[in-house]
Structure 1
Amino acid sequence: MLAIYLVYGPVMTGGALRNLDLNLLTTLDALLRERNVTRAAEQLQLSQPAVSAALRRLRRHFHDELLYRTGNRYELTPLAELLREPASTALAGVVRVFEAVPAFDPATATREFTVLVSDYAAMVAADELVQVIGEQAPGVRLRLRQQVAAHVDQAPESLRAVDGMFLPHGFLSGVPSIDVFTDDWVLIVSRDNTDVGDTVTLERLAEMPWVVTYHAPTAFTPAVRQLRLLGIDPDVRVVVESFLPVPFMVAGTPRIALLQRRIADRLATAAGVRILPCPWDVVHLAEAFWWHPTHHGDPAHQWLRSALRAFPRADTEGATS
């Protein structure tokens, strides 16, 4: 467990931060995630009275209950809900500070890398990264965190607390990246959909019911946006916040969807869908790995980037590192 006490210089000696120790941050993070004193104590490997005492200190500090009982369970107060992501981000940043090393030897390192991924990136890119890590750095662990729209919308801040994010080009700018691989988009329909042949026209696409992913102003599928620019406004019937369920939402229905070819090829048989070509010059998907500039000189992070560059299917032309 992290046991570090904050000591402030002249600028930080006053106010509410005086004499706070960093263990309160680890306890706060555990309590906000577990919503239970007992489970938080188990996770932190502390006694329940010790965590209860820390919760009392946190309540005094924030002038808020943070956790309150409803029946047999605890709920978070509105302030506690607001604190969940900042507490997790702050703790991850502190851990990164104390994990810093002057050199990185993958053969003996025991570091954990945390990467934000969609289910698509986990299936394609992270799967290869796990293999590379297993071969070169057997003691290193990869933690994959589910990527949500807020991570992209607040990219500079969210990237501070992790080692990077897999995301296609077109969403981020101003932060370094490495191109990892390319993919293209295909259409999928149910295998038993006899109304659609081996091809489909743009006009037919405008008539069909659609399954789409991330249907929001800042969270979208680039190929669907391109389709709208061509004057085709899909009749959206189902919105899914991930990619892997899409084929199963199409199977056995008259629906149609756009999907990355790498996923479609893997899941078509199991899901019971057919793959069709897009009837327009669809934009290619260029998946990249993005990181915060503060990680640039970290020897461990430099090794991670070199592992990404070594992907057999990587296309690193145009990488900005």
Structure 2
Amino acid sequence: MTHQDWLKKHEAAFGGQFEQLFAHSVLPLVPGIDFSTINVQFPFKDSNGKPRFCDFVIEEDGDVRIAIEVDGYDKRGTGSGMSHAEFVDWQRRQSSLTSQGWFVLRFANRDVRDQPGRCAEHIGLLLKRQRAKARDETLNAEEHRRLETLAAAQKSEIDTLARETSIMKYSITSLTVLVGVFMLAFFFKDSGSEARAVAVSQAAPALGAPSGATCDSPLDWRAASDNIGQVAAITGPVIRVTQKDNVKGQPTWIEVGAAYPNSSRLVLIVWGPDREAFGSQLSSTLEGKVVCAIGMLERYKGVSQIELKHASQLQQR
């Protein structure tokens, strides 16, 4: 079955614009995909017997079963993300799929929109592993490494959604406090400036951003090792910039806070194919400058690191 034939068959079943975008932009990029094995809005029952639907499933002979969900940050459009009850329901839904033999992949709407190739790579590697397992084969070491990296990235995406939920709720609370401050100041306008000053100073702590959320309130580079597996903004001085064109992947290493062999250092990595996006940012003139980097913190051989793919992830302070 061709992609176009599959689209014609399932077009009416897509649950929203991002599911439609996933079907049009992501699935065709998956190497070796067999469209006849993909179903849309797949029905199943959870552990309580409640009827459910999964956005997409891939089911092949040999017990190859992959369930795919395309998730939005705020499905209800309230601006506050999931409620506690919705979060519990979301977890039960995933647990039910997993216990029924499905390997569940979840993709954020923005990744479907902005990084379809990355989403397709997730699916392609997992599909290859599932097929190899069905044939009692194994992936090579490089494919295992890449699959583990993608799995860590998926966890990061879920953590990012949780962080965004927290920041959104924090912003709404801060706005509410700010409105309250103005109302309080207006109420006491005839009581003198002292009462107004006290009201504002008491409310001020609630108006800052959570530490590590953005480069306006980053974590110190020494805190990187305590936040492995999280997406965070980290700041510190650049000690050394090293470009290795003769090494696989042509990496550029930016050492922050300390230099090799100090294992407490933070390493920012830009791979060769991504270097052009950074322009002159990666020159040796960066040494001695204080930077802020945003990305998923990982640990490699005991050293904290962040992989940078976009210039917006690196800012000079």
Instruction: Provide the TM-score with structure 2 as the length reference.
Output: 0.26
Pick 1 or 2: higher relative contact order, CA cutoff 8 A, min separation 6.
1
Please identify which structure carries the higher helix content: 2
Instruction: Provide the TM-score with structure 1 as the length reference.
Output: 0.26
Please identify which structure carries the higher strand content: 2
